[in-house]
Chains A and B, each alone.
Chain A
Amino acid sequence: MEYVLKNGIVYDPANKVAGEKKDVMFKDGKIVDSVSADAKVLDVTDKIVMPAGIDPHAHVAGPKLVVGRIYRPEDSRKGVTHKTDILRSESGFSIPSCPSTGYRYSRMGYGTVVEAAVPPLEAKHTHEEINSTPNLDIVPLSLFGNNWFVLQYAKQNQIEDLAGFIAAWLRLAKCYGVKIVNPCGSEAWGWGMNVHGLDDPAPYWDVTGREVVTALAKANEMLGLPHSVHVHPNDLGHPGNYPTTVSTMEALKDIEKNSTVRGQTMHLTHAQFHAYGGTSWRDADSGADYIADYVNNNDHVTIDVGQVTLDETTTMTADAPMEFDLYKLSGLKWANKDVELETAAGIVPVIYSGKAPVNSLQWAIGLELFLKVNDPWKVCLTTDHPNAGPFIRYPRIISWLMSNERRQEMMDNREVHPWSHRRTSLASLEREYDFNEIATITRAGPAKIYGFQDRGALTPGFNADIAVFDINPNDIDPSRNHEAIEKGFSSAMYTIKDGEILVKDGEIVKVVKSHTLWTDVKGMEEQEKRVMDRVMPDFTKYYTIKFENYQVHDKYLPNPIVTEVQAGK
């Protein structure tokens, strides 16, 4: 089937197309540069056309999510909708059911989402949920930062073996890349403790977060994985944590990049939660300058923000000690899920309110990061869904980024507490994003950061993953019309995935199966074998499951997209 999207205003930052009126053509699921006269014409005159959205960091599938759904029926109840001829009924606000997750991203013009935290022991669970989430390609990242074998390799600085371990475990868990969460801290949580800063060792293991992050980053580059290490540093959510964040970035500064498809050697995730000054919540203030300055002056780091949206939501992270602290603050119900030899997780409902000083400060720090990082290719739009807010709020965040007037209004009329401007410089930041920058932080940038070679741009040969929005960029002042911007980006005029029209006029018209992206490393066979010989005795002794039953069989990935990587190349 051939199509022409006719007369749209195209934003395709990867191809340096910034608001040009032109046609976009696709055939048999791929973008092409010409079609025959039989091509079906979709008239999108003066509408915004972009590549489909890519969410570089969210929690959408897996054991943490399901704990959230099991123990928060009051959240599930919020989003319940009636089934239709093609859609199943939906549920949930902050932790939607799998079908709802697929539908809602699809309606916003998204096509790809990164699931940022997979414990290998429970990877089958994540893959089961991915398969139940339609209309999206999902990119799972595997957790390595507190894995017992990783702790040992890092301590002994055995980078080559660690690389072999990563290669083997990405294949076992069928994941795309390396995620690190509070390195050594989640292991400390096995004893109800945490680590503080980058140099506080995990109890009993005598290894520090610095050693773990560095070793994993080196191994990641030795393999030349398409994505860099994806780092959630220590001290998340603690006032005065920005120095830890900066030292984590500095620790990886000299690691040589071994990839042509991405620019960074470290992705710092949900930077907002790691950009606090002060010593306690009493005197906390913004540390956004320090993070933004570092990112502006160094090219080895990219970030996503984790913008607070001021909603009631459900926080969930492998940073379990932080979640327990949150629980003690709020007194609401606490869930926790530690995974043997691998990681921990905590889950707590949180009500972010513009009336609350701390939440307002967090809101402002997130926006500061967006506005202070100069190069939009280095910063991505996320809410760390559902941690800082549900992903359905992305359009609202876009409206804030495009309108200084709206931001000032919120501060003036006290939709947010005065801490938002007293303790940050948000009020003085006049920068407003344009549509091309929005396309960069939601599409082109994330694609580059993940080294995607098939999406995130309207390049001939790429997947025909396209979003059209009912906004005429030449006829709207986003600064004045934040509501129209939010509305426009909330419901795509078209969402096209692999050349199929999934959404039309904000309604889903077609439901398709999702794909799962994972990375298959070649050329480490010898190291992998050495690693397995070493790991197996401990695996047998300390896991409670047989190795044969640990791995994710192919049957859990009915629609895989495999990125093959030649290690070291």
Chain B
Amino acid sequence: MKTITFNQKKTSQIALEFDELIPDEVYSWEKADFEKYMVPIGNSRFPLTDYFDIEVEGSAESPEEIKMILNGDYGRVKYIGTKMGAGEIIVNGPVDLHCGSQMKGGSILVNGDAESYAGREMEGGSLTIMGNTREFCGCSYIGDWRGMNGGTITIHGNAGKQLGECLSGGSIYVKGDCDILAGIHMTKGFIQIDGDVTRWPGGQMKNGDIVINGELGRLLEGFVQQEIVENPEIDGKDFSGKYIKYTGDIALNGKGRLWLDAEKNRHLLY
């Protein structure tokens, strides 16, 4: 095992980009390698050590044996864990855009909030955000109809707009509330929201499951109420209680399933 610890010295107004600092790239690096490393900021590169004290302990033969602990405010550090395939990253603080995007394996734990595009196009591994996340968590790259297709995202706080946009596999859990259009254009996969949802989950969805355990504000006409199911099994998981099951979005002959807690969503029954 090798533990790499970043302790922040100062922050930057212009974001740093961490796409080259993933376990897959740095597992063999020693302290001196980090000290040589120039981190991209805007159109230039600056010494990483201007911004962080870095400690390296232990040794590693492969990325799996890497644990990176990032202490401080990473609200201006983009692409943390982008494309990582193995190892572990723990951020003790907030993170900027694209945390865990295109991640293939390993795990990221964010003890703070995450900016937009967390877990974009994720293929595997797990991303846990203890705070809130903004828009487009677990989405696709713009224009692509294939979004996140594997792995798990767990958000302990609230999620912003268009969560799981174009989701085509994997699971997203939101413990808090969620804004509009969760699962828009989704074709496969699973979204569970325990809190309340403002409007229009599942717009233009073709397939997959969305479970809402809180209250939903507004539902689209594209969803057709099917039945009330007690203790349903959804995406291989057991749920207890009564759920209203809808299918949609029929605007595009979608076969997606939207499950609403029946108690909290009586107002939507017809």
Genuine A/B complex = yes
A contacts, CB < 8 Å to B: 71-75, 77, 331-333
* Bound: A331/B145 CA distance, A: 10
| CB atoms of B143 and A71 under 8 A apart | yes
**Interface presence of B233 (CB below 8 A):** no
| CB atoms of B145 and A72 under 8 A apart | no
* Bound: A74/B140 CA distance, A: 9
B contacts, CB < 8 Å to A: 140-145, 206, 252
* Bound: A333/B144 CA distance, A: 10
* Bound: A237/B141 CA distance, A: 31
- A residues near B206, Cβ cutoff 8 Å: 331
Q: Which residue of chain B has its CB nearest to the CB of A70?
A: B143
| CB atoms of A73 and B141 under 8 A apart | yes
| CB atoms of A73 and B145 under 8 A apart | no
Secondary structure class of chain A's binding surface, majority of residues? helix
Shortest CB distance B205–A (Å): 13
* Bound: A333/B145 CA distance, A: 9
| CB atoms of A77 and B141 under 8 A apart | yes
Shortest CB distance A72–B (Å): 6
* Bound: A77/B252 CA distance, A: 28
Q: Which of B140, B143, B252 gathers most chain A CB within 10 Å?
A: B143
**Could you write out 16 A-B pairs with CB less than 8 Å apart?**
A71-B143, A72-B143, A73-B141, A73-B142, A73-B143, A74-B140, A74-B141, A74-B142, A74-B143, A74-B144, A75-B143, A77-B141, A331-B206, A331-B252, A332-B145, A333-B145
Shortest CB distance A386–B (Å): 16
Shortest CB distance B137–A (Å): 19
- Using A72-B143, A75-B143, A77-B141 as known contacts, list a sample of 13 further A-B pairs with CB atoms less than 8 Å apart, ordered by residue number in A: A71-B143, A73-B141, A73-B142, A73-B143, A74-B140, A74-B141, A74-B142, A74-B143, A74-B144, A331-B206, A331-B252, A332-B145, A333-B145
- A residues near B141, Cβ cutoff 8 Å: 73-74, 77
* Bound: A332/B252 CA distance, A: 12
- B residues near A74, Cβ cutoff 8 Å: 140-144
* Bound: A74/B252 CA distance, A: 23
Shortest CB distance A531–B (Å): 44
Shortest CB distance A314–B (Å): 11
Q: Which residue of chain A has its CB nearest to the CB of B141?
A: A74
Q: Which residue of chain A has its CB nearest to the CB of B146?
A: A74
* Bound: A72/B146 CA distance, A: 13
* Bound: A73/B143 CA distance, A: 6
- B residues near A75, Cβ cutoff 8 Å: 143
- B residues near A333, Cβ cutoff 8 Å: 145
Shortest CB distance A149–B (Å): 38
Q: Which of A72, A74, A77, A333 gathers most chain B CB within 10 Å?
A: A74
* Bound: A534/B206 CA distance, A: 53
- B residues near A331, Cβ cutoff 8 Å: 206, 252
Q: Which residue of chain B has its CB nearest to the CB of A349?
A: B145
* Bound: A76/B81 CA distance, A: 23
- A residues near B145, Cβ cutoff 8 Å: 332-333
Q: Which residue of chain B has its CB nearest to the CB of A74?
A: B144
* Bound: A62/B144 CA distance, A: 23
* Bound: A561/B143 CA distance, A: 39
Nearest 10 CB-CB pairings of A with B: A74-B144, A74-B143, A73-B143, A73-B142, A74-B141, A72-B143, A332-B145, A77-B141, A71-B143, A333-B145
* Bound: A40/B269 CA distance, A: 85
* Bound: A71/B143 CA distance, A: 7
- A residues near B143, Cβ cutoff 8 Å: 71-75
Shortest CB distance A75–B (Å): 8
* Bound: A73/B252 CA distance, A: 24
Q: Which residue of chain A has its CB nearest to the CB of B142?
A: A73
- B residues near A73, Cβ cutoff 8 Å: 141-143
Shortest CB distance B258–A (Å): 20
* Bound: A17/B141 CA distance, A: 51
Shortest CB distance B59–A (Å): 32
* Bound: A77/B145 CA distance, A: 14
Shortest CB distance B236–A (Å): 26
* Bound: A333/B185 CA distance, A: 12
* Bound: A25/B140 CA distance, A: 54
* Bound: A74/B142 CA distance, A: 7
Q: Which of B140, B141, B142, B145 gathers most chain A CB within 10 Å?
A: B145
- A residues near B142, Cβ cutoff 8 Å: 73-74
* Bound: A2/B201 CA distance, A: 70
* Bound: A77/B143 CA distance, A: 10
Shortest CB distance B146–A (Å): 8
* Bound: A294/B244 CA distance, A: 63
